Amino acid sequence: MKFIKTASAIALALSSSALMAQELEIKFTNLTQGIYYTPILMSAHDDSMSLFSSGTAATPELQMMAEGGNISGLVTLLEGVNANNAANPAEGLLAPGESTTAMLSTDEGNGYLSVVTMLLPTNDGFAGVSGWKIPTEAGTYTFNVNAYDAGTEANNEVINGAGAPGALGIPVAPGMDAGTGGTGVTTEESNKTVHIHRGSLGDDDLTAGKSDLDNTVHRWLNPVARVTVTVK
């Protein structure tokens, strides 16, 4: 019995994508009407690495990305495990309705794809996929991505330029379509692990109210992004 198990484990390992270098074309599409994405990080890595996992607290590196759009910590983390990265393919923000495409050559052993990017304007909302197994068969594979809450900052929905980890507030509303004078929606974040984002509340008063966000512009429903991977 033990022998059979080992044999099938070897068979699995041989058929696994982890042993092949691959050429990938990765397209990321912003499906929202009013949310911008900060510099996107796409990475092919091995199974020792996980950028995020629902129900697990965010790493400090993920927090940096989710609260301020800073991917440098995650890039360092991934370079430490010899991942293949496409960092910031859109060369800046990805506006609503826009797409960006990156080519990624993966090394042997880097059989898993992760993509992460922060949603603006949010406190610590991000979209992404963690550890998607890259198919070995050539073809085009499309999947939709949901919005997550990093669980590291209260969703107060106040735009005050705060993007550093631990600083409460939203860095910016790139569409220049948000308000001011919000008193803050909440100071609590009850679920401190990564979880599906409950969405922003917003309000209809651009100079007062609880939120600086516009409830007709800055809300969303999942899915918020689409990833199309072409395996060459």
Using CB under 8 A, list all residues that contact another protein: 29-34, 96-99, 201-204, 215-216, 219-224, 226
State which residue, 195 or 226, has the beta carbon closest to another protein.
226
Smallest distance from the beta carbon of 217 to another protein, in angstroms? 8
Smallest distance from the beta carbon of 33 to another protein, in angstroms? 4
Smallest distance from the beta carbon of 142 to another protein, in angstroms? 11
State which residue, 34 or 174, has the beta carbon closest to another protein.
34
State which residue, 32 or 85, has the beta carbon closest to another protein.
32
How many CA atoms lie less than 13 Å away from 182 in the CB half-sphere? 27
Smallest distance from the beta carbon of 69 to another protein, in angstroms? 21
Helix extents (H) in 55-173: 60-68, 72-79
Cβ pair 100, 40 in contact under 8 A: yes
- Taking the C-alpha atoms of residue 52 and residue 147, their distance in angstroms, rounded to an integer, is 12
The residue among 50, 47, 72 whose CA lies nearest residue 61 is 72
State which residue, 21 or 221, has the beta carbon closest to another protein.
221
Exposed / middle / buried, residue 203 (Cβ in 10 Å: 0-12, 13-18, 19+): middle
